[in-house]
């Protein structure tokens, strides 16, 4: 669902929303959509956040429209049902707590009360909460008295009371409709302002409203599960020179920071000081000088600029400074002379976006945009009309709000109607047969031309830089790592080997057939662009260093061409058995595990440590692969991407894709200081126990490093900033650091941060819109309908399933939520039998079957079943530190649970759990399509078969590895793996 809209109000009082993404190909709806109120009331003004829109109608009511979400907006109501034993279990005495109450028993609740706020509906009826560890099969807990501290799940002789928790879910169902916001005091309002999205974080916002009584109110209690908030809170009146000023006529807020402005009847401007996340009301008003001290009638703030209209119709703008630390605008820097006039007349309402683009409604009631706004030219060039895509055409408008728009330059489809048309045209032609023929022939011709050139016998050939054909003997100069140092070497690349010559007559020869894969890395201090080349078994590698990225890229592509040729000459099915890996720097590699044996002409499996692999463009944190070559990956910010089904690592160098991949990464740097006698804490040279004075990514770096790993990266913040201005102390430089009031310790450190952006414009990965994801699972067999099942776990513990994924539609069509009662910490898709297993943070393991869900937008939470085994051996191992490190995987009826470095094997058919199986440094456990479990620690171990010995006296087993394939040291530089 696109959530970037421009909201407008037509002259007839109907709200309209205009989809405004940066790339119109990503969304399905591009037309303007009118959304009238169901009761026909006319709207006067509108504001919006990325998740909801708010409007005021002619009678002064505030309405809310909640946009459709992937995750349901739900709340849960709980009551306790209390009973006493009087021969049979029945209701309680009147001196007891009521039959239905809250947990304390003091408040009586009537379960038949059905009232809920408008827009919400009950999802189900009251039903008991079940948990086999605390309650019996019907949900009861028993005790001697209601005040007793202990509740037992089994009823014993001396238990006289019992209670159970009844729960009922309520959902917001009125998405995309205007609903009146609850209003106890039946106030009337005239204006709205919304802002502070960056300050509130996580989709939050602050909503202000101007009442018809002249007071400004803030809506309290707005929360993702309660989008319309709970009540209005009064903000103190604006005072000017110690007396209450004239009435406020207009309020406005910045979409990014928490800045609220108010304009009074006499044209003065004020801003509210002190609005923070903790204190959203602020504490006082301060006046702001107006342009040349003229009266202001309208204003709007973005992030770095503010625009306003004075009473004479002139439109002014002023730059705003931001206090980075407090994250607020420095309004005190504005003087009446700081404003610049941009245009005279013609604009009636103005709205500034978060990235300081400016839209307005002109006096002729048309929507216009300020073209040419760039960081160097914040005032832009001129106001121009945008392309009218409304239905009916040529409408007149009275209001506009652009707070949820994110682009930082106007996309061309706003100004040019043909640009959108041509983008659609390109899409339409993409699959045409003539086009594919043209592409194929172009490639063939190009290959033929190059090979023609290369067959000429080297006479008078152009210098190598301009001739980039294959098979040209190349000379490369770079450095080779030997031990701790790098030495300069010359490399000659011949057909069958690489000859390496060093200055000290060191010479090595590497057979091209032994080159398995390469891995680019970035070293900060001293700065080098590294390329690890993996040769042979045990992940032996040579490390080459280059001073610039282009030389490394050239060398990398030469080596990868060699690897690719080998793979092509020996494999048949390129997406057969394979492994995907992501390095600790986020580099993705595909490893081919099936090679054709020259002797037998059959495909045989290769040990992952000896497999050949190729780098795939992209920057991710975790990956999973499934049937039909489907590969899904998640980056650090939780964005989800699916690999294009046209992508083939073996021909990736000759095809281009044009999806865009971006990620915003916060780089952290530690500054260390050691305590020296008489001098206090000082910085130091060199390193002690592997730690230097400046460390980034656990490796030494220069102070304030300004280089980035590759040209795909660019800085967002202009400089490093302290994350917090406090030091943490420790007695060991490599030990644990903590706050220390007395500032004592042998060493101290503090954290700096700086944001960078990673952009890949010709990426084969296509972004799939979703809430932030922590884990994705792809089925390794096709479903009965021929689709590929993809399930994701969001960062806040919700489960979504992606519908409609197949080879042609590799991104699927839409999401369905699988509702759960509590946040989930890890999940496993059992593709044989289409079952989904998941584990909660306290170690409860649940499962459910995955049914066809194309019609519903969610699957009910009552279909989960608890794992009916005594899992105490697992839950005993869950310490507070391990809570975030639980992983589920499995194959068919076998379920594996990994808690930190301990593995458990649960046989769900025979109902046995193994003893704890600890493995040194175990970090990840995944399963391949053949059912082998692949364990990643320092090595990657593929276990095809276990020896399982059952205990005679209880339902437990001892396990040991029987048939194993080990790739020594392969897990060293790798953060995530997936096997097919």
Partner 1 sequence: MDYEVCRKVWESHVPCQFTLQSSGGTHGEPLPFYTMLPRFSYLALAIQKVLSSFNRRDDGEKVHSDKMWLEHNGIPLKMYIPIGVIYDQANLSENDSILEIIVRTSQPPPQFQMVDRDMMEAMFMQNIKEADYLKTKAEITKNMMKDESAQLWRSVCNIPDNFDEFWTIVQKLMETSEGNEFAHIPLRVYVKNQAFKQALITAKHPDGSLRTIGEAVSDVLSSSSSSSTDSQSEHPPRLISHGIDIPHHTPLIFAAKNLSYPDNFIHVVLLLVVP
Residue 209's alpha-carbon distances to 190, 253, 363, 596, in angstroms, are 7, 11, 25, 70
**Rounded Cα distance, 152 and 134, in Å:** 7
* Burial of residue 941, with CB atoms counted within 10 A of its CB: 0-12 exposed, 13-18 middle, 19 or more buried: buried
**Rounded Cα distance, 169 and 127, in Å:** 10
**Rounded Cα distance, 389 and 394, in Å:** 9
Q: What is the 3-state secondary structure (H, E, C) of 905-970?
A: EEECCCCEEECCEECCCCCEEEECCCCCEEEECCCEEEEEEEEEEECCCCCEEEEEEEEEEEECCC
**Rounded Cα distance, 906 and 911, in Å:** 7
**Rounded Cα distance, 283 and 269, in Å:** 17
Least separation, in Å, of the C-beta of 843 and partner 1? Answer: 50
For the CA atoms of 281, 285, 288, 294, the dihedral, rounded to the nearest 10 degrees, stands at: 110
Nearer to partner 1, 427 or 716 (CB): 427
User: Which of these, 801, 799, 767, lies nearest to 642 by C-alpha position?
Assistant: 767
Cβ–Cβ < 8 Å for 232, 192: no
Nearer to partner 1, 113 or 459 (CB): 459
User: Which of these, 60, 61, 34, 64, lies nearest to 48 by C-alpha position?
Assistant: 64
CA 842 to chain CA centroid, nearest Å: 24
Least separation, in Å, of the C-beta of 454 and partner 1? Answer: 9
Least separation, in Å, of the C-beta of 656 and partner 1? Answer: 5
Nearer to partner 1, 435 or 954 (CB): 435
For the CA atoms of 192, 198, 203, 208, the dihedral, rounded to the nearest 10 degrees, stands at: -20
Binding-site ranges for partner 1 (CB under 8 A): 416-419, 421-422, 426, 429-430, 433-435, 437-439, 441-446, 448-450, 452-453, 456, 459-462, 466-467, 469, 655-656, 658
- Report angle CA 5, 1, 406 to the nearest 5 degrees: 40
User: What are the b/e assignments for 78-89, b being 16+ CB within 10 Å?
Assistant: ebbbbbbeeeee
User: Residue 849 pairs with which residues in a beta bridge?
Assistant: 835
User: Which of these, 328, 192, 186, 185, lies nearest to 248 by C-alpha position?
Assistant: 192
User: Residue 500 pairs with which residues in a beta bridge?
Assistant: 491, 508
Residue 978's alpha-carbon distances to 579, 773, 898, in angstroms, are 6, 17, 16
**Rounded Cα distance, 356 and 892, in Å:** 54
Residue 926's alpha-carbon distances to 310, 708, 887, 897, in angstroms, are 64, 32, 9, 10
CA 946 to chain CA centroid, nearest Å: 37
3-state secondary structure of 447: helix
**Rounded Cα distance, 765 and 759, in Å:** 12
Give me the phi and psi of 423, to 5 degrees please.
Answer: -65, -40
Nearer to partner 1, 438 or 960 (CB): 438
For the CA atoms of 415, 417, 420, 422, the dihedral, rounded to the nearest 10 degrees, stands at: -120
Least separation, in Å, of the C-beta of 729 and partner 1? Answer: 51
**Rounded Cα distance, 313 and 343, in Å:** 9
Structure tokens at 679: 């001098």
Least separation, in Å, of the C-beta of 467 and partner 1? Answer: 6
Least separation, in Å, of the C-beta of 940 and partner 1? Answer: 36
Length reported for the chain = 980
Nearer to partner 1, 323 or 468 (CB): 468
Nearer to partner 1, 333 or 417 (CB): 417
Least separation, in Å, of the C-beta of 712 and partner 1? Answer: 15
Least separation, in Å, of the C-beta of 418 and partner 1? Answer: 5
- The 8-class DSSP code of residue 382 comes to E
Least separation, in Å, of the C-beta of 438 and partner 1? Answer: 6
């Amino acid at each position: 669902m696109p959530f970037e809209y421009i909201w407008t109000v037509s002259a007839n009082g109907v709200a309209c929303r205009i989809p405004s993404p940066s790339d119109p190909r990503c969304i399905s709806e591009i037309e303007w959509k009118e959304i009238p109120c169901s009761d026909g009331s006319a709207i006067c003004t509108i504001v919006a956040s990325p998740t909801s829109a708010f409007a005021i109608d002619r009678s002064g009511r505030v309405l809310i429209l909640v946009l459709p979400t992937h995750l349901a907006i739900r709340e849960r109501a709980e009551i306790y049902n209390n009973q006493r034993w009087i021969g049979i279990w029945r209701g309680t005495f009147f001196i007891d707590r009521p039959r239905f109450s809250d947990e304390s028993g003091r408040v009586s609740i009537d379960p038949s009360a059905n009232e809920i706020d408008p827009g919400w509906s009950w999802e189900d009826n009251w039903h008991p909460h079940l948990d086999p560890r605390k309650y019996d099969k019907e949900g009861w807990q028993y005790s001697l008295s209601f005040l007793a501290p202990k509740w037992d799940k089994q009823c014993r002789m001396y238990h006289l009371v019992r209670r159970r928790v009844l729960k009922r879910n309520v959902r917001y169902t009125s998405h995309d409709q205007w609903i009146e916001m609850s209003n106890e005091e039946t106030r009337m309002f005239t204006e709205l302002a919304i802002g502070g999205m960056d300050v509130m974080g996580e989709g939050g916002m602050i909503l202000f409203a101007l009442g018809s009584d002249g007071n400004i109110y803030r809506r309290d209690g707005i929360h993702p599960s309660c989008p319309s908030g709970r009540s209005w809170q009064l903000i103190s009146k604006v005072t000017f020179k110690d007396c209450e000023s004239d009435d406020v006529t207009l309020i406005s807020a910045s979409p990014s920071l928490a800045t609220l402005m108010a304009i009074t009847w006499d044209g003065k401007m004020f801003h509210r000081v002190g609005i923070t996340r903790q204190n959203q009301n602020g504490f006082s008003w301060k006046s702001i000088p107006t342009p040349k001290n003229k009266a202001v009638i309208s204003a709007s703030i973005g992030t770095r600029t503010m625009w306003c209209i004075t009473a004479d119709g002139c439109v002014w703008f002023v730059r705003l400074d931001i206090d980075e630390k407090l994250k607020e605008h420095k309004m005190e820097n504005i003087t009446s002379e700081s404003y610049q006039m941009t245009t005279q007349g013609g604009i009636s309402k103005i709205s500034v976006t978060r990235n300081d683009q400016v839209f307005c409604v002109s006096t002729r009631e048309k929507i216009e945009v300020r073209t040419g706004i760039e960081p160097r030219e914040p005032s832009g060039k001129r106001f121009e009309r945008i392309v009218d895509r409304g239905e009916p055409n040529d409408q007149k408008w009275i209001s506009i709000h652009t707070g949820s728009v994110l682009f930082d330059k106007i996309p061309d489809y706003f100004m040019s109607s043909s640009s959108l048309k041509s983008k659609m045209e390109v899409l339409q032609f993409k699959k045409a047969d003539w086009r594919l023929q043209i592409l194929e022939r172009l490639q063939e011709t190009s290959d033929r031309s190059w090979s023609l050139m290369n067959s000429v016998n080297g006479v008078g050939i152009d210098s190598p830089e301009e001739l980039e054909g294959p098979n040209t003997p190349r000379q490369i100069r770079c450095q080779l790592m030997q031990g701790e140092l790098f030495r300069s070497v010359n490399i000659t690349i011949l057909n069958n080997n690489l000859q390496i010559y060093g200055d000290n007559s060191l010479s090595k020869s590497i057979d091209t057939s032994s080159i398995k894969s390469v891995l680019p890395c970035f070293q900060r201090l001293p700065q080098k662009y590294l390329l690890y080349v993996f040769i042979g078994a045990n992940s032996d590698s040579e490390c080459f260093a280059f001073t610039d990225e282009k030389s490394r890229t050239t060398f990398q592509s030469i080596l990868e061409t060699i690897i690719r040729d080998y793979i092509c000459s020996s494999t048949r099915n390129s997406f057969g058995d394979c492994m995907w890996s992501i390095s600790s720097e986020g580099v993705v590699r595909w490893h081919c595990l099936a090679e054709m044996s020259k002797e037998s002409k059959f495909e045989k499996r290769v040990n992952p440590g000896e497999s050949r692999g190729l780098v795939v463009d992209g920057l991710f944190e975790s990956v999973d692969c499934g049937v039909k070559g489907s590969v899904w990956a998640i980056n650090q910010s939780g964005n989800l991407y699916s690999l294009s089904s046209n992508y083939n690592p073996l021909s990736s160098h000759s095809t281009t894709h044009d999806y865009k991949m971006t990620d915003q990464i916060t780089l952290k740097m530690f500054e260390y200081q050691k305590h020296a006698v008489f001098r206090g804490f000082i910085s130091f040279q060199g390193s002690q126990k592997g730690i230097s004075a400046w460390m980034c990514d656990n490796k030494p770096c220069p102070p304030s490093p300004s280089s980035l790993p590759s040209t795909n990266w660019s800085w967002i913040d202009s400089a490093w900033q302290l994350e917090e201005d406090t030091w943490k102390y420790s007695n060991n430089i490599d030990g644990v650091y903590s706050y220390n009031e007395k500032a004592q310790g042998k060493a101290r450190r503090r954290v700096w941060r700086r944001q960078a952006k990673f952009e890949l414009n010709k990426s084969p990965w296509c972004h799939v819109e979703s809430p932030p994801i922590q884990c994705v699972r792809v089925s390794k067999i096709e479903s009965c309908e021929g689709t590929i099942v993809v399930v994701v776990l969001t960062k806040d513990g919700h489960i979504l399933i992606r519908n409609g994924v197949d080879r042609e539609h590799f991104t699927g069509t839409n999401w369905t939520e699988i509702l759960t009662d509590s946040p989930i910490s890890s999940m496993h898709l059992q593709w044989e039998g289409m079952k989904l297993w998941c584990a909660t943070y306290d170690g409860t393991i649940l499962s459910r079957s995955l049914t066809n869900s194309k019609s519903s937008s969610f699957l009910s939470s009552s279909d989960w079943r608890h794992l009916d085994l005594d899992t105490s051996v697992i839950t005993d191992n869950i310490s507070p530190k391990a809570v975030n490190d639980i992983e589920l995987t499995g194959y068919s009826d076998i379920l594996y649970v990994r808690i930190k470095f301990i593995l458990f094997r649960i046989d769900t058919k025979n109902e046995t759990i193994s003893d704890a199986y600890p493995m040194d440094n175990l970090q990840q456990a995944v399963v391949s399509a053949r059912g082998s479990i692949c364990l990643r620690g320092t090595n990657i171990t593929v276990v095809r078969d276990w020896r399982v010995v059952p205990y005679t006296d209880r339902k437990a087993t001892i396990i040991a590895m029987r048939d194993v394939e080990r790739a020594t040291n392969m897990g060293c530089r790798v953060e995530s793996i997936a096997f097919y």
